[in-house]
Structures are given as structure tokens and as C-alpha cells.
Structure 1
Amino acid sequence: MTLEKNPTPQQSQGVPELEPVRRGPRTAVSAAVARRLFHAAVNRLAVTVHEGPSGSRGGRTLGQGGPSMTLHRPEEFYARLGRDGLIGFGESYMTGAWEADDLAGFLTVPAARMATLIPEPLQRLRAFVTPRLPGHHRSTEANSQANISHHYDLSNDLFQLFLDETLSYSSALFDTSQVPVGAGPGSVGDHLVATPPEPADDPDPRLHGPDLAEAQGRKIERLLDEAGVTDGTSVLEIGTGWGELAIRAARRGARVRSITLSVEQLELAEQRIAAAGFADRCDVELMDYRALGADGRTYDAVLSVEMIEAVGAEFWGTYFRTIDQVLAPGGRVAIQAITMPHDRMLATRDGETWINKYIFPGGFLPSVEVIDQITRDETGLRLTGQLEMGSHYAETLRRWDRRFLAQRDAVLALGFDDVFLRVWHFYLAYSQAGFASGYINVSQLTFTREDQ
């Protein structure tokens, strides 16, 4: 699919307003610095960057060879990069100032070297130049529903265009071996790594093969196993999604309470649960996790799939203390969490990113180490198992992106525009690159009580 290369920088449905390039001495100086840093970084990478106006014969080629990027409007690119860093990098893609035939492939190369691309003396200035997370994006009780709604209430029809039939919007677990690894930084308890899956495509890019739905089911069933969900188990799910985990838990004979802050997800989840015949076993409520515990109810199993990313660093302790409070004696906790290395988490904490601004307001990724530390310091929970599966998320995202691009006309028919298409293609490819490079990871984490 070819996306429009120069969409007008204006308000787009589902996308915050994109500012035009600012002019003046500060922009000129920051653009010149960005150009030098970008050239120095690219020339150390296995990529190819074509710099020059579209169709120009006087451009230059940078890099050591590899996935290619074309700067159609270099002046705009360096102005945005200089003024707004990685946010500007993403915004210049949104306007079509640059293009890449294999966007995820190109982004994977710098993602693997992210911590060393900028000289260390300049990295120390990060806190002074990186935008801070806006106050209205902090994941407080007052802000959280708006943050969630920004993404998850865009349109159920939109998500159905690129997700598989289970409507699972989280990493799948493909049928591969799981290899135990030795103890080391970031590994706690029984530590397994899922070997990478083989990439596979359905002949029709608008479709997903049955193996993706099977892999999503495998992910959920493993979490239910880890949490000990069987006939008669009382289950709490924090973050409903579109109801697939609740359906599968109810199918085992469990009684499920699921909470969400997405109005659209709640509506469709209830419909799917009822259609599956489990309306009498599942209750879905619009509720912030911080309101749990007020009624004194406890649960044998607490599950949460890729919800901790929206909690915000300042509320991680609240999140785990709440889980500890509502977990019944002898209960188990299983969560799926996107994580980043501890040193990168510390270096980027409290800053705003392109993903925050355009996709997930208030989101921030924890490290496995900080999860272990918080649960040890503030709760009776203990991390007893970990399955890393980052390569499986890279493959999941590759398939979502492929299908999303193939559904261009259907996305436009929902009222979205070319700016939105570019934003979401960049988001999916950027995320795929993060997992493919190992810059970010995803794990299933199991917790039990200290005295069990």
C-alpha cells in the first residue's frame, strides 16, 4: 500500500493537531545540530539514507547499506528532529517528509543501538531537552478514562479490521519451544524464553491465517493456567479488552469479574460474552482499578493483559497494592506486561514520547526489575515465574501492520484520513522494531503470596 506522502498538517480524526514547522534562530541552530548528529549516527548503522528533495539528482547517500530511508524534505525533517527529538522524527514521517519502503525493517536497525546513538555527554542533557509528560496525561483517577478513551474508543470497527477473530490486542504466543535461561539481570523465579516464531503470511493480506487466532488463544490459556483458573475459580480481570479472556475463563467454569475504562470495549465485550453463552458467569464493569477492594471482595485469581503499561510509573505501587488487597488467601496472579531494560526505563522516566502524544497518553513501560522491587517492598506478592516472548510480539505486530495497510479503503470509509493511516502505520512498525531489536520486551509474569 502506498500512503499519501504529503498530507496537510491539520487536525485529523483520532490524532492530536500537528503543528507546522516553527521558524527562527532557535530552529535553525537546533536543525543544524540535528543534521550533524543524524549524519554521525546513520553513518555507523547498516542502513541507507537518501537525502534530498524528492526526485532530486543532487542529493547524498548516507549509511553503511541496508534498509533504506528517503528524506523527501530534509529541511523540514531536521527542523522537526532538532526542535522535538524523537517526537519530531515521528511527526516528520506523519507529514511525509521522509519515507521507508520497509518501515519496520529500517526502524529496527537504530532501535537495536538506541542507547548509544547519541554521544554520552549529550545524553546527560536529556532531562533538559526532552518534553515532560503533560499534567493532563498523568494516569490519575481524574485523567485515566480520557487517556484510555483516546485510543480504545476510536472505533470497534477499526480494531476489527486488523485484529484476528479473537479480538486480542496484545502479543500472541506462537507454537514454539520455551527455553529455560539462567538467572541474570531482570530475571526472577522460573525464567523461560519463547524461541522466535517463523514469519508467515496468508496469501490475502486482508486476512489472518488461523494460526494467529490459535496463538492468541495459546497466550490466554497459558495465563489462565499460571493463575490456576479451573471450575469454580473466582477471577478478577483488570482490563477487559474485547472479552476473550473472560470467555475462556468462563468456559473453564470460572466466575469472572472484568473491569475496563473503555466504553466501546465494554459494549462489544458484553455482546461477545453473551453470544458465547457466558453472560451468567461474567460481569463487565466500567471501573478504575483503584476502586477495587472497596466492597471487600477477594478473588482466587487476578489477571491483567498489557494493562500495566497504562498505569504510569507513579502509580505502579498503587496497582500492585490493590491486587494484593483483593487476592484471596492461596490465590495467584498472572499478568502480561510490556517492559524495557531497567537502565533505559530510568533514563526515559517522566518524559513524553511520540507514542504518548499520539497513541497512548500517560503510558510508560516498567522494567521487570522495578516490578519485582515494588512487589517486594510494598506487597506480599512475589514474582515466581517469567516467560519472555518479545519475538512473538514482533511477529504479531508485523501481521497487524500488514493487514492494516491492506485495509486502507475500509479505514478511510470509517471516517479516518491519510494522516491517521500514516500515524498508525508508524505506530505498528515502530513497535515491531522495538520488539524485533530487543529494545523492548513482553513477558507473562506469575506472582504468588510470600507465605504460600
Structure 2
Amino acid sequence: MANGKAMTVGEMASLFLDPATPVRIDAFDGSHFGPADADLKVNVATPNCMYQLLAHPSEIGIVRAYILGDFGVEGIDYADPYPAMRKLISLSKYVKPLTPASIARVSAGILSHGFKKPPVPSTEGPSKFARIKRGLMPHTEKADSETVSFHYDMSNEFYADFLGPSMTYTCAVFDNEHMSLEDAQANKLRLILDKLDLKPGERLLDIGCGWGSMVITAARRGIKALGVTLSKEQAAYANEWIAREGLQDLAEVRVQDYREVPEHDFDGICSIGMMEHVGVKNYQSYFEEMFRLLKPMGRLVNHQITISHDKPHGKPGTDEFLDRYIFPDGDLGAPGFIESCIHDAGFNVVHQENLRQHYALTLHHWNQNLSEHWDDAVKQVGFERAKVWGMYMAACALNFELDGIQIHQFLAAKPDRVGHPDGKWYPLRQWWQA
């Protein structure tokens, strides 16, 4: 952006970064910041990067610049940018405090070249406000159907590229860090079914069943399993899988909202990675619906991402990047609030555990799978969207490691208010193998 005495990108960087910052910034205008031999090298490739940051001086600005190639890191693996992200966050201690004067100087420097509206990536979805203007109030059945379709109805083949054969899009459970992803996913499904302690012939409802891995696993045990999802692609895949296994008499997957399931008196319900789509303000009614669908002494396992620090009730718990690119209307709650909602719906909360480290490991496996199948992933959904998914999963892995987010499993039982002194309601101590 050198133009006479106009401020260069390197000079702009010096307003916000300490001179000792171990980074090299090379810019399109020929300017630089930092030592040439720095381990971390950043490229501000086009003026659009600066206009993105001016228009959105937040994560959405840098995300747009990264997706469109206006900003990059030397040697970055688009399928697994975790190492680059680790290096970038290590720079936080070198960032100078923002001041009105420094912000004004940079803004004036950019605008001295005229105003330009920066482009928006084609993979970016509408804002929450734009969705509401269209009549899609968050977490109504119509809005949930559209937002779930936005995330899941892209390409089953694309999801297979990083999920692997299990097609299980939730946190695995590892016995150790050397366990394979497939074994850890099977371990997670086993753990949930063992907690529910269902017998052959008993009935399971899997809410937000994905591509059917839990339904299939339950049916193999002789359990009658019904899965519901709002994704047509997932349901088609799951029912084809059920047919290949010859389990049609025991398993079924429907495109159906959980609020519309006509059956009731289930022996067990699992909700695995579903609550992120429900909305914190709807947690109480969600668990009340689960309570209604279960028979007395039935059990519920709720497995969901949580936030590490509580927040005011009803305040959205996800950021703009996730809302625009990944999970529209996604929302996270704190574990204490969730447990209170389960309790207040009438359940006895029997057990809960935090699997935070397990999800970080799961995501590292997914990033590695995406890297190994990168060419096919790009073929399935395009370079831009594949790049978004690599960034999303790497950022989530980092967030789990930094304890910004966690994941909890809650086991609860529906009491029948009769009392069972012989322990038939549930055993006196933990009955499943961790």
C-alpha cells in the first residue's frame, strides 16, 4: 500500500506488534515486519486483506481474508492448519494494547487509497439477522430444518473423507492416545449403550442420529432402534446402511423433527451431538420432551459440547464464524446449567463426565483424514469449503485443548415414583466399563 508517504502494511503491523514479535510479515506493497529468519512467516497477499480487516476488525475479517487467499501462512496445510494456528496464538503476548490513535492511523492509511467493499466468500451463509428477516426465527422447526441442511446436506462422500468408515460425527472415546479413530468411535458407541443398559427387544430413540452409526450398533445388539434427523442426505445413507446389514426389522431412520415423533414409552433415548442445534433457551423444553417420550425407569444419555464458563441465560454461545460458515444458530451452554435443566425436567441425574481431551484427539484424526483425502474433498465440495472445514476442525481442536470448550456426557433416569429397594431401577454403583 506504499503510495508516496502513505503508511505501509509493515508500518501498520508495527503499531500493534512489539518489535520482538517472532514473526515475519511480507506484504503485497513490498513492505515487511519482523526478522527474515522468523519461524512463522505470514503473507498479506492483496489489498483486500486490509479492506476485510477494516470492514470487520474481528475474526470474521481475517477468516474471509484467509478463505479467499488474501492472507496466508507459509507452509500451511489447508486440511490441517492446526500447527500454524498454534504458532499464531503464541504471538498474543506480543500484541500491543489497542488505542483509538493507532486504530485511527491504520484506518486512515487504508482509506487514503479509497474505499473498497471487500468480497465475501461464496461459502458464507446469511447472518442471523438476515435469516430472521426471512422469517427463520432461531430454533423453530422451519429454521432448524434449513440450518441442518446447510451443514449436513453437502456430500456424504465429503464427510466420509474425514470421518472415516464409522461415519460418526461426534467425539470418540479413547482408552489411550494411540487408539485408532475407528476403535475409539466404536468405544464411544459401546459406552453409551452400556450406560443405557438396554436389552434385546427394548426400544431406543436416537435424536439427531446422523448417518446411523448408533442405530446400526444398537440393532446389532437386538435393540429396536429409531433414529431421527433433519438431513435427507443422512437419512438416505443410514437407511441404505441398515438395508446392507439386513437390519430393517430392528432399525429405521426418518427425516423428522424430534418434536414430531409420534411414538413414546421408549426404554432409552440418546442425544449425541444434537444439543448444539437446540438453543440454550430451549434446553428445558427439550429435556421435558425427552422425559415425556421415555417410559418410567427409562434412561437418557445426553452427549454435547459445552462452554467452560457460564453465561447469562439465553445469550448465544457460538461465534460469528461458526454461525456464518458452520452451524447457523448454534448455541452452547455450561454443564451446570444443562444438568439443572435435566434435573428440573424430572430426571434423576445419575452420572456425568467431561470428555474434553477426547474431542481434541478426535479432531486431530479428522484433520489428518482430510489431509489424506484432500483431493477428493475438494472435488466433493470445492476448494473454498474444504479449506473452511480444515480451519474449523483445527480451531476446535485448539479450543478444546485450551479449555475454551468441553464436552459432557450426562446419564439420567426417569423415576416412576414407586421406589425399587431391590435396585431394579438402576444398580447401586456404576455398572458400565469406562
TM range (shorter): 0.7 to 0.9
Q: Distance in 1 between matches of 2:313 and 2:355?
A: 22
Q: Spell out the pairing of 1:396-435 with structure 2 (5 A cutoff).
A: 396-414=362-380, 416-435=381-400
Is 1:328 the equivalent of 2:300?
no
Q: Would the alpha carbon gap of residues 39 and 248 (structure 1) be closer, same or farther in structure 2, given more than 3 Å must change?
A: same
Q: Distance in 2 between matches of 1:43 and 1:154?
A: 45
Corresponding residue number in structure 2 for 1:229: 198
Q: Distance in 1 between matches of 2:311 and 2:26?
A: 33
- Gap regions ≥5 residues in structure 2: 1-8, 101-126, 418-424, 426-434
- Are the aligned partners of 2:204 and 2:267 in contact in 1 as well (CA < 8 Å)? yes
Q: Spell out the pairing of 1:61-210 with structure 2 (5 A cutoff).
A: 61=34, 68=40, 70-73=42-45, 76-84=48-56, 85-100=58-73, 101=75, 103-108=81-86, 134-135=131-132, 136=136, 138-176=138-176, 197-198=177-178
Q: Residue type matched to 1:166 in 2?
A: S
SS at match of 1:143: helix
Q: Would the alpha carbon gap of residues 394 and 413 (structure 1) be closer, same or farther in structure 2, given more than 3 Å must change?
A: same
Give 1:118 shift: 10
Q: Would the alpha carbon gap of residues 402 and 316 (structure 1) be closer, same or farther in structure 2, given more than 3 Å must change?
A: same
**1:392-438 CA deviation, whole Å, 9 max, x = no partner?**
21121112112212323212333x32212221211121112111222
- Work out which of the residue numbers 212, 223, 234 in structure 1 matches 2:181: 212
- Are the aligned partners of 2:264 and 2:292 in contact in 1 as well (CA < 8 Å)? no
Q: Would the alpha carbon gap of residues 350 and 388 (structure 1) be closer, same or farther in structure 2, given more than 3 Å must change?
A: closer
Give 1:39 shift: 3.3
- Gap regions ≥5 residues in structure 1: 1-30, 123-130, 177-196, 201-210
Q: Would the alpha carbon gap of residues 449 and 92 (structure 1) be closer, same or farther in structure 2, given more than 3 Å must change?
A: same
Give 1:449 shift: 3.2
Q: Distance in 2 between matches of 1:390 and 1:357?
A: 25
- Are the aligned partners of 2:281 and 2:314 in contact in 1 as well (CA < 8 Å)? no
**1:182-238 CA deviation, whole Å, 9 max, x = no partner?**
xxxxxxxxxxxxxxx25x8xxxxxxxxxx2111100001101111122223211110
- Are the aligned partners of 2:28 and 2:47 in contact in 1 as well (CA < 8 Å)? no
Give 1:286 shift: 1.2
Q: CA RMSD in A?
A: 3.7
SS at match of 1:89: helix
Q: Would the alpha carbon gap of residues 241 and 338 (structure 1) be closer, same or farther in structure 2, given more than 3 Å must change?
A: same
Is 1:444 the equivalent of 2:413?
no
Q: Would the alpha carbon gap of residues 227 and 95 (structure 1) be closer, same or farther in structure 2, given more than 3 Å must change?
A: same
- TM-score, L = length of structure 1: 0.73
SS at match of 1:52: strand
Following TM superposition, the consecutive aligned residue runs of length 4 or more in structure 1 with deviations greater than 6 angstroms are 34-37, 109-114, 117-122, 345-348
Q: Distance in 2 between matches of 1:368 and 1:112?
A: 29
Q: Which segment is superposed worse, 321-330 or 73-82?
A: 73-82
Q: Would the alpha carbon gap of residues 43 and 333 (structure 1) be closer, same or farther in structure 2, given more than 3 Å must change?
A: farther
Q: Would the alpha carbon gap of residues 50 and 140 (structure 1) be closer, same or farther in structure 2, given more than 3 Å must change?
A: farther
SS at match of 1:334: strand
Q: Distance in 1 between matches of 2:313 and 2:17?
A: 27
Give 1:74 shift: 7.6
- Are the aligned partners of 1:161 and 1:407 in contact in 2 as well (CA < 8 Å)? yes
Corresponding residue number in structure 2 for 1:282: 251
- TM-score, L = length of structure 2: 0.76
Q: Highest relative contact order (Cα 8 Å, sep 6+), 1 or 2?
A: 1
- Are the aligned partners of 1:132 and 1:351 in contact in 2 as well (CA < 8 Å)? no
